[in-house]
Chain A
Amino acid sequence: MHAAILVFPGSNCDRDLKVAFEAAGAAEGVKVSMIWHKDQELPDGVDIVAVPGGFSFGDYLRCGAIAANSPVSEALRKHVARGGYALGICNGFQVLTETGLLPGALRRNADQKFTCKTVALDVATQNSVFTSEYSVGQRINTPIANHDGNYFVDADTLAQLRAEDRIAFTYVDNPNGSVGDIAGVLSANRRVLGMMPHPERAADAALGGTDGVAMFRALSGLAAGVMATA
């Protein structure tokens, strides 16, 4: 499995994500490439593009908005159009909504404050590679750390997301005002996941939590070339 992690100026969870991929996929020999935002092409054979947390371009204009117009984001769009997998965490989720690869938008938290704490999530679907190692209704603990994590979609889109089973995770105790308690959503083809919580911060027993490991384990099993045929 080959993961490409996009690095924008201001990304600050890029290394954390690399560590989580490598630790979970050590047995499979997972390969991780760091891709600078000015690159126009992804390396050959990339199975999944991961957009890390942080403050790409300082959150100026709107979180994720400038990154969505970086050269590498065009390569990301092509990768997804080809049926490639993509994962956006925190600022990465904001980038994925700004690129239009996922519906909705992330607004300022309801209490207007940056919030960093561990919250409980319910797994809402097992039907995606990201959530395939969890069970529906499983409760997992994952840290959040954001100022703009308040997910919004209009009522019609929300109904559609529900009808298509595209809500991946919900908050047990909604920390930021997100519509439908949504913490993570999938694309229509179920190959793009955006989520505000940080599974890569729940991937090491020494740091107090391992509930995120199952996602990285499942992704390690992605076989090269899957995206081209599916």
Chain B
Amino acid sequence: MPQTAQNANQEPEVNADLIAAHGISDEEYANILRILNRAPTYTELGIFSAMWNEHCSYKSSKKWLRTLPTTGPQVICGPGENAGIVDIGDGQCVVFKMESHNHPSYIEPFQGAATGMGGILRDVFTMGARPVAAMNSLSFGEITHPKTKSLVNGVVAGIGGYGNCFGVPTVGGEVRFDPSYNGNCLVNAFAAGIADTDKIFYSAASGIGMPVVYLGAKTGRDGVGGATMASAEFDDSIEEKRPTVQVGDPFTEKRLMEATLELMATGAVISIQDMGAAGLTCSAVEMGDKGDLGVRLDLECVPVREENMTAYEMMLSESQERMLMVLNPELEDVAKAVFDKWDLDFAIVGETIAEDRFEIRLHGTLMADLPLKALSGNAPEYDRPWVETPPAAPLADVPEIDPIDGLRALISTPNYASKHWVFEQYDTQVMADTVRTPGAGAGLIRVHGTEKMLAFTSDVTPRYVMANPYMGGAQAVAEAYRNLTAQGANPLATTDNLNFGNPEKPEIMGQFVGAIKGIGAAVAALDMPIVSGNVSLYNESYGTGINPTPTIGAVGIITNPEHAILDCARDGHVALLIGTTNGHLGQSALLAEVFHRVEGDAPEVDLVAEKRNGTFIRDNHELIKACTDLGDGGLALAAFEMAQTAGVGVHIDATDTATLFGEDQARYLVACNFDQAEALMINAARAGVPIETVGRFGGDNVRFGTSDAPLADLSQVYQDSFANALA
């Protein structure tokens, strides 16, 4: 066993307090004793805690994640690697994932959000893909909460500060405010990259005695214990946790990407893994485990930027902008030259070994000696008790409201005002392939050097998921499907970022299970398999969970640019509504924001209708000038947003609140000229798709029935409300 007693690095004795402080349960510790046949050293305890915490092990969620559809002819690589990979034809693929950085962002918003960007970008370029698009789904507490404004400012500046410098365009995302996030904001970052399908890199090590190489920035004490922190609930001691947040350096990340992609082109890389949560520990175990090999590390070779770092600290550091790779030893000089060119550290820190061992030495002293497979293979897995979320009480009467007053009230709230204050702080056009910047529906980029386009969207309506986890989960996928469809894109696949409260509470676990079932049903029906994802649990503060927020990031493709629906509504265009309107006001934006009532059930999601109506939109793209999906705020908000984007007025015939503000699913608003409208109605009748004329575009006013207001006035409210709320 490791000789800790003789080591210059005197390690603390492993006792009950230390075990508890590492978040390891009695049952889990008994399991460790069984595996080792002895007590673990301090460093070993740290390694176990890093590998077995919720963040890395998915111990509460694994059972349910396995039920998600993850395959399809388009899928090259599903969950389990750094990111998912989907075929986009012509020998190319899109590599993408979404990941949360919630707890760090609440503690230190700028660095928390920045390193969230850094982590997700590394996941993508580690696989050999150059990142080409980013999105962010942000959930904050109510705007009047004393912490909210500083969190919004810090998180947005942190995302911009990292992504802009790195040089990836942010093309989409969401920003929402709700009291349930008062003590626990959500920062979900998405990144996508493009690679040649025959040049993808994986994490599985191969070959015995191969050098294990450390790349990138130096190791410091930042982030030690970060993954454990991310898996704990928040209370008043939260400020004390600030030192566990890492600090990002996008300039180093940019160099690391260029160096890594250059290195991959030389043939020197056998396998590669980025150092994210639990740094060196997780990355080394991952590479060994997937390659059925052991790993030996000599920690004195690790480039460090602080003095007297212990083995424990080096193994658990979450310093950013680092990678681990297994090198083809014949190309060591070539590899080193690439890293010299970019002024980055390159150090051989160990080797692959035949036995199933994770052997850590510091100046020759054995600090940890663990069976490597057991670290991931024997990680705990729980079948947490759960209870079905009770059905929502029926919705009491909703009074009629003057529709223009209702619209004005909605677009005056930071939730439904324009978010340009946010996305103008992100570089949305770097790389010069952005076809559609954020602000209206899905973002679009061109695949460089081709005519193909990729569409990106991220969606979830947490109110729906709270009321009805199954429907809410399905709705998040359906809305993503519609947002891609409204641009003329064919949905390809999805990534899920599942943010929930404490899974040890059966009602929270019930939300999780319900949402997974809904997501699973929807991705199966709409052929959008989940190819990557991330689970963030324990999003609670003072014992209250957030609204369940399973964010869906989705990618679609437009192979022929003529199939894209990119125009605006014009004066004289007809407004057509595709889909069935029943006037569902339960959990609607109008009810929550204007009547301050969070009541009723989520809208029903009819997946057959979603597929049929979406297919209809794509099949008839040449008859459609502009298209938007109907979501929060229903027909009224969709019609206004379409009018304000185009700078032309709109007249919708309906006057009643339920028709204008109801949030029935599987619906789109379409603008086209009179002849096209006629043809579209004929085609819809043939396809069995409900369609109706609901009004027309033109003039300078927004008019619902007999109530109206100048578009310019409403636009001003829409453009200014977000900044005013933050002022």
Contact = CB atoms under 8 A, between A and B. Distances in A.
Interface of A: 9-10, 12-13, 15-16, 19-20, 38, 53-55, 57-60, 113-117, 143, 145, 147, 198, 200-201, 203-204, 206-208
A113 B258 CA distance: 27
Contact of A207 (B161, B342, B423, B434): B434
Contacts of A10: 165, 251, 254-255
Contacts of B255: 9-10
Interface string B424-435: 111111111111
A80 to B, nearest CB: 26
B250 A55 contact: yes
A204 B342 contact: no
Interface string B412-445: 0000000010011111111111110000000000
Contacts of B250: 55, 58
B46 interface: no
B446 interface: yes
A206 B425 contact: no
A206 B430 contact: no
B588 to A, nearest CB: 32
5 contacts: A9-B343, A10-B255, A116-B423, A116-B424, A206-B561
A19 B167 CA distance: 16
B112 interface: no
A53 B167 CA distance: 10
A57 B429 contact: no
Given A9-B343, A114-B426, A203-B432, 5 more contacts: A59-B165, A114-B427, A145-B427, A198-B429, A207-B434
Given A55-B251, A60-B251, A16 B430 contact: yes
B160 A16 contact: no
A143 B254 contact: no
Nearest to B428: A116
Contacts of A143: 429
Interface in B333-377: 341-343
A48 to B, nearest CB: 19
Contacts, number: 90
A145 B432 contact: no
A206 B561 CA distance: 9
Contacts of A19: 432
B249 interface: yes
Contact of A9 (B161, B164, B249, B342): B342
Contacts of A198: 429
Given A114-B425, A117-B424, A207 B432 contact: yes
A207 B251 contact: no
Given A19-B432, A143-B429, A145-B429, A58 B424 contact: no
Given A9-B342, A12-B254, A114 B160 contact: yes
Interface of B: 157, 160-161, 164-167, 249-252, 254-255, 258, 341-343, 420, 423-435, 446, 561
Contacts of A38: 341
The 10 closest A-B pairs by CB, nearest first: A58-B251, A12-B167, A16-B432, A55-B165, A145-B427, A114-B160, A114-B425, A116-B427, A201-B429, A117-B424
A6 to B, nearest CB: 15
Contacts of A207: 429, 432-435, 446
B94 to A, nearest CB: 19
A16 B425 contact: no
A18 to B, nearest CB: 10
Nearest to A143: B429
Contacts of A54: 167
Contacts of B167: 12-13, 54-55
Contacts of B433: 207
Contacts of A204: 432
B251 A206 contact: no
B426 A116 contact: yes
A19 B449 CA distance: 10
Contacts of A13: 167, 430, 432
A12 B341 CA distance: 17
Contacts of A200: 432
B424 to A, nearest CB: 5
Contacts of B157: 113-114
B489 to A, nearest CB: 16
Contact of A201 (B164, B252, B426, B432): B432
Contacts of A201: 429, 432
Contacts of A206: 435, 446, 561
B215 to A, nearest CB: 15
A230 B441 CA distance: 52
Nearest to A204: B432
A90 B185 CA distance: 34
B165 A145 contact: no
Contacts of B429: 116, 143, 145, 198, 201, 207
Given A12-B167, A208-B435, A57 B428 contact: no
Contact of B249 (A58, A117, A208): A58
Given A55-B165, A206-B446, A113 B425 contact: yes
Contacts of B251: 9-10, 55, 57-60
Nearest to A115: B424
A20 B427 CA distance: 19
Contacts of A116: 164, 423-429
Given A10-B255, A57-B251, A16 B424 contact: no
A19 B342 CA distance: 24
Nearest to A18: B432
A15 B431 CA distance: 7
A99 to B, nearest CB: 20
Contacts of B252: 58
Nearest to B426: A116
B425 A115 contact: yes
A12 B257 CA distance: 12
Contacts of A117: 420, 424
